């Protein structure tokens, strides 16, 4: 990490603008901002004190309601560069010219926790992108998981009530591991596919920079000739897709609840700009009809093995916000913010979202003029007859505020003609049908893709899903809910159901519970069609490993722990190699200040064993030097550093010849672990770097029970 750079951007180290006087909001210069106006220095305060009242009034109203979901987030500015234009599919300007650059603002978020909760909750992550295109704002409001819990927007309030903290006591915060969520999930089998993703490592990412993004809902693109195509949007991180382990996630939540925010912030400050490839999965009507599931059902994914993804450009984040509230908090996303060339499918979840996101801004931002806030304002000029409302900033000067009009000075109603027919126009589509409140039978198979997702995981991926179900259902206190969910698992995968049931001390039920079937039967006319479920499919692209990047350790964080008497030569060699690879090596000891090596040189300590923790690093290096290691072996916290790194399957380098740290820690329990390297020669350092690039040694967890 470039600490000088971080320092430069630390507001506490920036000089205050001393040339500017302190003023009230009305511009009156303030002479004394430390004392209220009083009747005598020891007397009562006077109501007349307008400066005090303005200050406190403004402070009293600093908070706005947090988002009802996705309350906790982190944002950044950046740019989208189009490399492979697709005018044959969309007439959108920003998708038409190779090399075109569009400014963006991205907000990542967790879904369930409130604004002050932890980044490392087991949860879906929001991935919302605001494109400031030359033709208006396009918001791609996506997630890091390609499917959703429910099929119809009308169930969203119930889902959110169930997963949020329970209403009597507001417990638990930022967690799905409680009765009401699993009660809902066990009664609504359409949640099964998303729940399987939620129990996978996708829900505990290592970094926002290492997550895929998905538009989830099916959208439409249309070209200048009016031909339309179904489209799914994808984002693939250049750093690969990586996660932490659950035990680690829980510890990170205590050690640094801002882990993801800080990681994003520091990467951008250091010039390590995170990048994703933006891709589209395009489907013609014929391709859509050939699929054996309905692409209007947001609980389904289209595996890229079936319809390949075309990557069309790069999203890069390169500037941190200047102010969290003004930008990250006030940014307002809405799937209904689209530009000509992009349209909606009839997905009933998307259709409901089109109402909700506009509506919610009123209670959150308090005005229909939220589009005038700098972060929400389109970069192209806007012109219409929407008028007035709270906190209006624009000062319209035209002669008319209605349409049509014949006043001079602009006729916006002609804009479609004036722009050569490029304005937004919905794709014309034939529509007929009875007005019904029913779910399409084509949405009825909830389990084939759920099973496919589980089948497609690696051995460790499956183990983590088993562990996650055991943890989450283990937190459920009503046994009938646990049992009901086991009924769903029994339909999806018998082995998985058996493993989880054993750990819960229950027997695997014989299929879905009658309550589950009863609920689903209210939604579908003929439910369940269990005989039609396809259990045997596997698509590698659904596993995280398929998207991992194992070539580089760029931006990874490695802890070097040492004490007096360490080996400076070895440390220097390691430092120079790690730096050359673009990773970070922090020096950690039991105290701040300078530590003296065996040969009298000094290094400055970056953090102490108590201010940073093993779980906040990707790998561990115990610096060589007999005296140093002997001292570390007597410090419980240093031994825990090693134990945790081992437990969390991280690469560990042990410098020097001493065996003392091995004997003092759990390393003594692990034989011939390929990700524990003794540093004797330069080639051992290279080996360590390769192991860090592998991210984790999952074999260790499969072979040993260290947790």
For 496, how many CA atoms within 13 A lie in the half-sphere containing its CB?
29
DSSP annotation string for 173-240: TT---SHHHHHHHHH-GGGHHHHHHHTSGGGSBS-GGG--EE--S-EEEE-TT--EEEEEEEEEETTB
Q: Which of 2, 35, 58, 70 is catalytic?
A: 70
* Ramachandran assignment for 600, one of left (phi > 0), alpha (psi -120 to 50 degrees), beta (any other): left
619-622 β-sheet, strand order: 607-608, 584-589, 557-561, 619-622, 651-655, 676-679
Counting other chains too, the contacts that 43-51 makes at CB distance below 8 Å and 24 or more residues apart are: 50/24, 51/24
Question: Which residues contribute to the annotated binding site for heme?
Answer: 67, 107, 156, 353, 357, 364
Show the binding pattern over residues 196-225: x = contacts ligand HDE (CB under 6 A), - = does not.
--------------------xx--------
Kindly give, in sequence order, each residue whose CB lies less than 8 Å from that of residue 223, ignoring residues fewer than 6 positions away. Answer: 87, 88, 89, 90, 91, 341
Strand partners, 105: 77, 130
Residue 353 sits in the site that holds ligand HDE (CB under 6 A): yes
Cβ nearer to ligand HDE, comparing 206 with 353? 353
Query: What token pair was written down for 403?
Result: 């349409």
CA-based nearest residue to 341, from 416, 423, 431, 234: 423
Q: How far is the CB of 293 from ligand HDE (least distance, A)?
A: 17
Question: Which residues contribute to the annotated binding site?
Answer: 67, 107, 156, 353, 357, 364
Q: Out of 360, 367, 575, 699, which residue is the one contacting ligand HDE (CB under 6 A)?
A: 360
H-assigned helices in 366-430: 415-418
Q: Which residue is nearest to ligand HDE (CB)?
A: 126
Cβ nearer to ligand HDE, comparing 217 with 614? 217
61 belongs to the catalytic site: no
383 belongs to the catalytic site: no
Footprint of ligand HDE on 287-326 (CB under 6 A): 298
Show the binding pattern over residues 137-176: x = contacts ligand HDE (CB under 6 A), - = does not.
----xxx----x----x--x--------------------
Show the binding pattern over residues 249-288: x = contacts ligand HDE (CB under 6 A), - = does not.
----------------------------------------
Alpha carbons 406 and 489: distance in angstroms, whole number: 67
Footprint of ligand HDE on 117-136 (CB under 6 A): 126, 128
Show the binding pattern over residues 542-581: x = contacts ligand HDE (CB under 6 A), - = does not.
----------------------------------------
Residue 338 sits in the site that holds ligand HDE (CB under 6 A): no
Alpha carbons 125 and 10: distance in angstroms, whole number: 27
Residue 73 sits in the site that holds ligand HDE (CB under 6 A): yes
Q: How far is the CB of 124 from ligand HDE (least distance, A)?
A: 8
Cβ nearer to ligand HDE, comparing 360 with 367? 360
- Total count of residues recorded for the chain: 707
CA 376 to chain centre: 21
Residue 356 sits in the site that holds ligand HDE (CB under 6 A): yes
Q: How far is the CB of 228 from ligand HDE (least distance, A)?
A: 21
Footprint of ligand HDE on 53-72 (CB under 6 A): 67-70
Strand partners, 276: 237, 315
Residues that bind ligand HDE (CB under 6 A): 67-70, 73, 107, 109, 126, 128, 141-143, 148, 153, 156, 216-217, 298, 332-333, 349, 352-353, 356-357, 360
* Catalytic residue list: 70, 143
């Amino acid at each position: 990490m470039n600490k000088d750079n971080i320092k430069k951007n630390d507001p506490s180290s920036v000089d205050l603008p001393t040339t500017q006087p302190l003023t009230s909001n009305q511009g009156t210069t303030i002479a004394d901002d430390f004392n209220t106006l009083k009747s005598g220095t020891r007397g009562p305060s006077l109501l007349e004190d307008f400066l005090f009242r303005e200050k406190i009034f403004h402070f009293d109203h600093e908070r706005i309601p947090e988002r009802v979901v996705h309350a906790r987030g982190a944002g950044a500015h950046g740019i989208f560069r189009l490399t492979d234009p697709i005018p044959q599919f969309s007439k959108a300007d920003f998708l038409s010219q190779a090399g075109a650059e569009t400014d963006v603002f991205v907000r990542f978020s967790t879904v369930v926790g409130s604004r002050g909760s932890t980044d490392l909750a087991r949860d879906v992550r929001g991935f919302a992108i605001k494109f400031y295109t030359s033709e208006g704002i396009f918001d791609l409001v996506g997630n890091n998981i390609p499917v959703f819990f429910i099929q119809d927007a009308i169930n969203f309030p119930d889902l959110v009530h169930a997963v949020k903290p329970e209403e009597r006591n507001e417990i638990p915060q930022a967690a799905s591991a409680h009765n009401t969520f699993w009660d809902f999930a066990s009664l609504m089998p359409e949640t099964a596919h998303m729940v399987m993703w939620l129990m996978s490592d996708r829900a505990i990412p290592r970094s926002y920079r290492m997550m895929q993004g998905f538009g989830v809902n099916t959208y439409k693109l249309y070209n200048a000739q009016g031909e339309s195509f179904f489209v799914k949007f994808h984002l693939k991180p250049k750093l690969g897709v990586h996660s932490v382990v659950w035990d680690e996630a829980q510890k990170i939540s205590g050690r640094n609840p801002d882990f993801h925010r800080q990681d994003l912030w520091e990467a951008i400050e250091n010039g390590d700009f995170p990048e994703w490839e933006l891709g589209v999965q395009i489907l013609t009507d014929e391709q859509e009809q050939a699929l054996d599931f309905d692409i209007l059902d947001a609980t389904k994914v289209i595996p890229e093995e079936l319809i390949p993804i075309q990557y069309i450009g790069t999203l890069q984040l390169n500037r941190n916000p200047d102010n969290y509230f003004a930008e990250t908090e006030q940014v307002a996303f809405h799937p209904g913010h689209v530009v000509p060339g992009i349209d909606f499918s009839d997905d009933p979840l998307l259709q409901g979202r089109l109402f909700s996101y506009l509506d919610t801004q009123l209670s959150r931002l308090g005005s229909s003029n939220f589009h005038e806030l700098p972060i929400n304002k389109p970069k192209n000029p806007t012109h219409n007859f929407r008028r007035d409302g709270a906190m209006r900033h624009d000062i319209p000067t035209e002669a008319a505020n209605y349409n049509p009009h014949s006043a001079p000075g602009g006729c916006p109603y002609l804009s479609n003609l004036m722009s050569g027919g490029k304005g937004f126009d919905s794709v014309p589509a034939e529509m007929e049908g009875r007005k019904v409140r029913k779910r399409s039978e084509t949405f009825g198979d909830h389990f084939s893709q759920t099973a496919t997702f589980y089948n497609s995981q690696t051995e460790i991926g499956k183990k983590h899903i088993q562990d996650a179900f055991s943890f989450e259902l283990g937190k459920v206190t009503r046994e009938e809910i646990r049992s009901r969910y086991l009924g769903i698992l029994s339909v999806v995968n018998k082995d998985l159901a058996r493993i989880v049931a054993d750990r819960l001390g229950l027997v695997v039920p014989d299929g879905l519970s009658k309550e589950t079937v009863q609920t689903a039967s209210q939604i579908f006319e003929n439910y369940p069609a269990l005989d039609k479920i396809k259990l045997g499919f596997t698509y590698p692209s659904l596993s995280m490993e398929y998207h991992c990047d194992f070539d580089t350790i760029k931006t990874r964080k490695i802890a070097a722990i040492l004490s007096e008497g360490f080996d400076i030569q070895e440390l220097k060699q390691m430092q120079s190699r790690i730096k050359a690879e673009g990773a970070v090596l922090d020096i950690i000891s039991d105290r701040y200040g300078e530590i003296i090596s065996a040969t009298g040189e000094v290094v400055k300590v970056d953090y102490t064993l108590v201010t940073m923790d093993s779980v906040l690093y990707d790998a561990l290096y115990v610096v060589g030097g007999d005296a140093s290691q002997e001292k570390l072996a007597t410090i419980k916290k240093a031994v825990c550093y090693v134990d945790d790194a081992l437990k969390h399957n991280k690469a560990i380098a042990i410098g020097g010849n001493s065996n003392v740290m091995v004997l003092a820690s759990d390393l003594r329990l692990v034989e011939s672990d390929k990700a524990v390297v003794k540093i004797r020669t330069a080639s051992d350092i290279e080996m360590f770097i390769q192991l860090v690039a592998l991210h984790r040694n999952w074999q260790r967890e499969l072979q040993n029970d260290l947790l």
